[in-house]
Structure 1
């Protein structure tokens, strides 16, 4: 659990942690206890207003420090397998902005803290970000890649899966955020924590091994977002009808927030299909990079220096 003083600073920096909305009836007693712990209703305000507020990366460094591996194994970690390079479909764009889209998205961005719902995953389905691996080699826990996924089934089904305890490591799964077909945004795992969104995976020749019994993955330095799959995609076919305009709006708003908060390059937004080293993942199917390009450009995300 993140210490109370980190939770207070995190809330002030990002304002993400909210009560679950009424749109999804998934709250249980244990879930509400976790919400209360995360939101910290009893926390007192700091009286030192002149002190510099820690950034998200400052908070992450302290959380990761607390989670460091206590003992080192002999030898060296396994090497990352070769993988195909990533060439981002997103391009820098500072002009030719759709002003109608920009107006709509800026209005939604102002409402984003109220739109987002928090439904925390069961603690077995996420973990800490580490600054060192089991062999004592340094790891950089800062999020620097965003992985896009799809749920395959409904958003409610996905959240129920994350709320279900999974004691076995091989069964554990989660994303940081889910986006519904109606544009609803559900935050499931604190972005300072490690979501289990991709197993055997790497990005730009990098992975992190945090458990010597499993192969490496991008999870220690990734943020994971999953789009709810439309009804005609509840199968193994290669395509479906695609995602809604409301989903692309919500997706762009979350990504814009993450890119700025964690200083992530838009070129590091990629897919589960690309980072998967096992060749078994195809998500997100039927994804439109053009729709994302237009929205991120409207928000100014593709013109930052």
Structure 2
């Protein structure tokens, strides 16, 4: 059985009622001099001031919990997996400083000004996401900085995807999420904070890089990736290789989310890729029917493709 480092404090909390009588007896038997001194020192100080100086029990439990973080653990018996062979990625996005679509630029400028009001945050089950790791199970350092965007599609409706993410999944292989979903009408739904790790890709790598965070599984890009999924149109809810594609409103919203992520984390638009490309199992083909030229026009309109 794993020992509980918080056990003594928890027992103290649980036994508080039983010990209160004994504590009162000890106080009553204390020295009158100490009591008078305490009252004099306390004079003129408010209850609020004294409360600020006295940590709550929850804070004490928190402190003890923090001291146990990073405690030495037995290294896994399994050997670390070797990094996969790097697959070349040539971004379909090209440098563009001129030929900007003025109508798109004007529309995106208007939407960008009210982007916060266009976004909605929905909480999902905690089993479907986690913290980014700074060390792997073998205590080797990991860089958790978001530096690649993986594009996905929901395959089914957006509501169906959200219901899946809000469902508790105790088994690792069932856990799944994206950071952000974009509906057919351009609705932006944020599900996992970018500072956290969404479970968007399993056995995966980008340019030969992955992070193995569980010794039971091979590595994935999740520890340094941002995952964004587009709602699939109704005619794409099948096993066909193509469907009718995504809406103009979806491409607008996609460009605005990417713009914010690029500004916040400083990666290149060339690091925007697909689930199909990073999947090492050869089972993923999403996002099907994605139109890179539509994204090109919008990112150019936002001034993101004019760097040397």
TM-score range, shorter chain: 0.7 to 0.9
Aligned counterpart, 2:122: 119
* Residue 192 (structure 1) aligned to one of 195, 201, 215: 195
Q: Distance in 1 between matches of 2:172 and 2:224?
A: 19
* Residue 73 (structure 1) aligned to one of 68, 75, 80: 75
Aligned counterpart, 2:16: none
Deviates more, 1:95-104 or 1:202-211: 95-104
- Contact 2:86–2:209 at 8 Å: present in 1 too? no
Q: Distance in 1 between matches of 2:204 and 2:135?
A: 18
1:82 pairs with 2:82 = no
Displacement after TM superposition at 1:264 (Å): 1.1
Q: Distance in 2 between matches of 1:121 and 1:187?
A: 10
Higher alpha-carbon Rg: 2
SS of the residue corresponding to residue 114 of structure 1 reads helix
* Residue 292 (structure 2) aligned to one of 281, 289, 293: 289
- Contact 2:152–2:230 at 8 Å: present in 1 too? yes
Displacement after TM superposition at 1:76 (Å): 5.0
Aligned counterpart, 1:29: none
Q: 1:248 to 1:255 in 2, by over 3 A?
A: same
SS of the residue corresponding to residue 305 of structure 2 reads coil
Q: Distance in 2 between matches of 1:161 and 1:259?
A: 28
Q: 1:115 to 1:196 in 2, by over 3 A?
A: same
Higher share of residues assigned helix: 2
Report the TM-score when normalising by structure 2: 0.75
Q: Distance in 1 between matches of 2:71 and 2:215?
A: 12
Matches within 5 A, 1:164-175: 164-175=167-178
Q: Distance in 2 between matches of 1:301 and 1:68?
A: 40
Aligned counterpart, 1:55: none
Unaligned runs of 5+ in 2: 1-67
Q: Distance in 2 between matches of 1:167 and 1:176?
A: 20
Unaligned runs of 5+ in 1: 1-65
Q: Distance in 2 between matches of 1:91 and 1:71?
A: 47
Q: Distance in 2 between matches of 1:84 and 1:221?
A: 17
Displacement after TM superposition at 1:71 (Å): 2.8
Matched pairs, number: 240
Q: 1:68 to 1:253 in 2, by over 3 A?
A: farther
- Contact 1:69–1:132 at 8 Å: present in 2 too? no
Question: What do you get for the CA RMSD once the two structures are aligned?
Answer: 1.6
Q: Distance in 2 between matches of 1:67 and 1:88?
A: 40
1:91 pairs with 2:94 = yes
* Residue 277 (structure 1) aligned to one of 276, 280, 283: 280
